[in-house]
A and B are shown apart, each in its own frame.
Chain A
Amino acid sequence: MTAPTPEAGALPAGTARPRWRESLALLLRNPIAVFAGAILGLVVTAALFGEALAPSGFNEVDIAARLQPPSGKHLFGTDELGRDVLSRVLLGAAVSLQVGLVAVGISLAVGTTVGLLAGYYGRRLDDVLMRLMDVLFAFPAILMAIAVLAILGPGTTNAMVAIGIVYTPIFARVTRAAVLGVREEVFVRASRSVGASDLRLLVRHVLPNAAPPIIVQTSVSLAFAVLSEAALSFIGLGTQPPDPSWGRMLSEGRGFIELAWWMAFFPGLAIFVTVLSFNLLGDALRDVLDPRQRTAMSSTATGEGGARA
């Protein structure tokens, strides 16, 4: 307490408004974040221009050239129908990202709203909403998604909804915690005392201050959404053939694992690298935006555990 310890020294106390430009500069100085961003850039490029970039059509069947190992002609080899694995992996990016973005979009919208309401209004509403979220959260994520898909039927759209539902409670919790943190801050109380409306308060003051943990959570959730989509497609409940989805390709490749390892290897690698990049970016964002929340990792650890189980 006598000396400024390095941990305590640099951080301003209280809930200062996040400084976006400074944060971005800090982020760009982190090589891991830049690396992760670059990888994600590639994935996005593949998702947007996959068809143009792919060396051959993703459904171009060539039985004569089936199960070819990686070569100059087919960098990632070919599958049992002679389709080019690289082309399919490139196109799979679109499905993965699309499902990830829409699913996280759903949980972000619903979860944040629930969290804001619960955190801001408190009491009964808080009890009811958060209890609901707890019930939702108590299920292993993948089982929950499977159950939702059982009701809605398999398919890409339904997978988005299922994953979206599964990750809603996490956003609700993160938002609620952040809102509770700022609700009693001086500036919020001050605005309230001058008669600002609830909606105005929520949107203008509470939300921006709750944003850093939500942004971090978004990045991390994108990782798990991509992973979940792959898992669901792997067990046949997500994207349906003939669309190239990484999880689907992996499951098809599994049957040929001893004949053609590349069929399962490359789609899996694509999933791994994408998920890892989202996670690393999330970590870097947490360091930059939300250094005080580092301990919250412990509570997210159980959340991540749920997401993965």
Chain B
Amino acid sequence: MTYPGRRGAPVIDVADLRVRLRTRRGSAQVVNGLSYQVHPGETVAVVGESGSGKSVSVLALLGLLPERISQVEGCATFDGQDLLSLDEEALRRVRGAGIGMVFQDPMTSLNPVLTVGRQLVEGIRAHARIGVPAARTRAADLLGEVGLPDARRALDRYPHELSGGMRQRVMIAIALSSEPALLVADEATTALDVTVQAQILELVSRLQADRGTGVIWITHDLGVVAGIADRVLVMYGGRCIEDGDVDDVFYRPAHPYTRGLLGALPRTDEPDDKPGGGTPGELVTIPGTPPSPTDLPPGCVFWPRCPVRADPRCETEVPPLVPVHEPAGTPAGVQHHAATFCPPDAVQGGAS
């Protein structure tokens, strides 16, 4: 796909987002100072392992976390207003109309006892003053657009009568039904098999190009990222530890964790000589487990698992997210940042 560049104001501008959840084990800092922007037509991939805070960070934007146990701070400018300070009714108007969401499991994300048509129509009518017949016509058009055969009749189908891929198409139709400026896909292809996954990715790219929608794609699948993202944001332990153009991050990862992730990516195209890498085609994982959000290390969140530990400050001091000095000759793109004390040479030799 073509990279539309960074024209105009961002669709969403998130600054220093912090989310704290109260759990039975105490308070957990799940998202810790996250900042990013998404521009119209741009796809930003948020990458990280389970528990890295990536899903929570977007649910928090729309007030979809359980209110009683969550505490959200920071600023998220969308359409000229700060989402985090909106009241429930104003937020409701942003949900669906301004920001559409697609969730991971199409089996459970649709209400099993309501028809597909109903679920589309109620979303449309939540934001537009139109009658049911008009909304149904629009719903049928949308289903056609996302590639459901026989869209008119599909309106009266129940979710269980559709395949997983078809259900995810319905989810996308629902998410796009009110023409949102931003689409958030939370692990939207994880539960699907590979061919369907490719179809869905293709569909979203096409719709995005047609409408100029900004997309936040949350995933732990680096293969997906490589396929669709313009920019990548790597999360670990609730922090952004590296972000930049997809090429910069993939070919010149600056953070040891990103390198580890890339090492964990199953590869079939080339022999693997990276540290932590295995034989071709073999999935490699980083030893150890992500830190518990109730008990974060004082320094770099990755320190306990870090194979490099190049600097004594790593253990005690949180490394700031600073620009990475690219080697001469790299094409100028969006600024590439990483939060690490590791000198560039210590981590060179990523996927190249």
Contact = CB atoms under 8 A, between A and B. Distances in A.
A3 B55 contact: yes
A5 B22 CA distance: 9
Contacts of A1: 50, 55, 104, 187
A6 B66 CA distance: 10
B352 interface: no
B25 interface: yes
A5 B69 CA distance: 9
B268 interface: no
B55 A6 contact: no
B145 to A, nearest CB: 29
B54 A2 contact: yes
Contacts of A2: 50-56
Given A1-B50, A3-B30, A4-B293, A10 B55 contact: no
A6 B69 contact: yes
B23 A4 contact: yes
Contacts of A6: 21-24, 69
A242 interface: no
B224 interface: no
Contacts of A10: 23-25
A4 B50 CA distance: 10
Contacts, number: 40
B28 interface: yes
Interface in A1-44: 1-6, 9-10
B50 A5 contact: no
Interface of B is mostly: loop
B55 A9 contact: no
Contacts of A9: 23-25
A10 B26 CA distance: 10
Contacts of A3: 21, 28, 30, 51, 53, 55-56, 293
Contacts of B23: 4-6, 9-10
Q: Number of contact residues on B: which range applies?
A: 20 to 34
Residue among B23, B51, B104, B292 having the largest count of chain A Cβ atoms under 10 Å = B23
Nearest to B238: A3
B22 to A, nearest CB: 7
Interface residues of A, number: 8
A2 B56 CA distance: 7
A22 to B, nearest CB: 14
Interface string A67-107: 00000000000000000000000000000000000000000
A1 B48 CA distance: 12
Interface string B20-40: 011111001010000000000
Nearest to A9: B23
A12 to B, nearest CB: 12
A1 B220 CA distance: 12
Interface in B40-92: 50-56, 69
A2 B52 CA distance: 6
Interface string B211-235: 0000000000000000000000000
Contacts of A5: 21, 23
Contacts of B25: 4, 9-10
A9 B25 CA distance: 8
Contacts of B30: 3
A3 B187 CA distance: 14
Contacts of B22: 6
A2 B57 CA distance: 10
A10 B54 CA distance: 21
Contacts of B50: 1-2
A93 B187 CA distance: 61
Contacts of B69: 6
A6 B26 CA distance: 9
A49 B313 CA distance: 71
A192 B24 CA distance: 37
Nearest to B187: A1
A3 B292 CA distance: 10
A4 B292 CA distance: 9
A4 B65 CA distance: 12
B180 to A, nearest CB: 22
Interface in A110-124: none
Nearest to B22: A6
Contacts of B56: 2-3
Nearest to A5: B23
B101 to A, nearest CB: 14
B87 to A, nearest CB: 24
A10 to B, nearest CB: 4
Contacts of B28: 3-4
Contacts of B51: 2-4
Interface in B272-331: 292-294
B31 to A, nearest CB: 9
B325 to A, nearest CB: 32
Residue picked from A1, A4, A10, most chain B C-beta under 10 Å? A4
A3 B19 CA distance: 11
B138 to A, nearest CB: 32
A298 to B, nearest CB: 18
Nearest to B51: A2
12 contacts: A1-B55, A2-B54, A2-B55, A3-B30, A3-B53, A3-B55, A3-B56, A4-B21, A4-B25, A6-B21, A6-B23, A6-B24
Interface of B: 21-25, 28, 30, 50-56, 69, 104, 187, 292-294
Closest 9 CB pairs of A and B: A2-B55, A10-B24, A3-B56, A6-B23, A9-B23, A3-B30, A6-B24, A9-B24, A4-B23
Given A2-B50, A3-B21, A9-B25, 7 more contacts: A1-B50, A2-B54, A3-B28, A4-B25, A4-B28, A5-B23, A6-B69
